[in-house]
Amino acid sequence: MNKTQFIFVLTFILLSINTAFAQYGYGNGYGNGYGNGYGMGRNSMGMSQMDQTPSKPKEIPVEVTVAKIMEKLKPELNLDELQTIAIGNVYTDIIKSQTAIMKDENLSQTDKSNEIKALFEVNERKVNEYLNEEQKQKYKALKEERGTNKKEKKKKSKKENN
């Protein structure tokens, strides 16, 4: 019995050692003793990711933004195709101008804010040029509704932060 226990324990130890060596890649020629190549690949991959500078978020193309705006305005204001194209062009110009203002490093935040407000006033005048009286009233109501929604969201976020 003593001899069988010894053989059993010896076999168990040998199998355990073999398993331990297999995990670290000893004896199979891969990974130079630090794992079977997988660990090195992970480390080098991690290093290459750390070397990369974080990229800024991709800008949404102006055309996509304008398409979303027009998708909402067209049915609500009952715009025809000519109005849709003309107003879409106005929004495209305004958004491009707004982007240029935001990127201008020579302007202070107050100057940027004032210029953007002026842009929105110009935008409203240009859009109203393409609308009939009924559409102008609906457009004005939509703008007021959007302003009210923004104020409510600000109030909610302030309450949640407190």
Residue bearing tokens 């794992």:
35
Residues listed for the chain: 162
How high is the pLDDT of residue 99? 87
| Radius of gyration of the CA atoms of the chain, in A | 33
* Residue with more model confidence, 107 or 148: 107
How high is the pLDDT of residue 83? 92
- How far apart CA 18 and CA 5 sit, in angstroms, is 20
For 3-53, what is each residue's pLDDT tens digit? Answer: 777 777 777 776 666 655 555 555 555 555 555 455 444 455 555 555 555
Q: Residue 45, CB half-sphere, CA atoms under 13 Å: how many?
A: 6
For 76-118, what is each residue's pLDDT tens digit? Answer: 999 999 999 999 999 999 989 888 888 888 888 898 889 889 9
Q: How confident is the model at residue 154 (pLDDT cuts 50, 70, 90)?
A: low
- How far apart CA 45 and CA 61 sit, in angstroms, is 32
Query: Residue ranges per domain, the chain?
Result: 2-51, 62-161
For 118-134, what is each residue's pLDDT tens digit? Answer: 988 988 899 999 999 99
What is the distance in angstroms between the CA of the first residue and the CA of the last residue of the chain? 75
Mean pLDDT of 120-149: 88
How high is the pLDDT of residue 14? 66
Whole-model pTM? Answer: 0.57
How high is the pLDDT of residue 59? 75
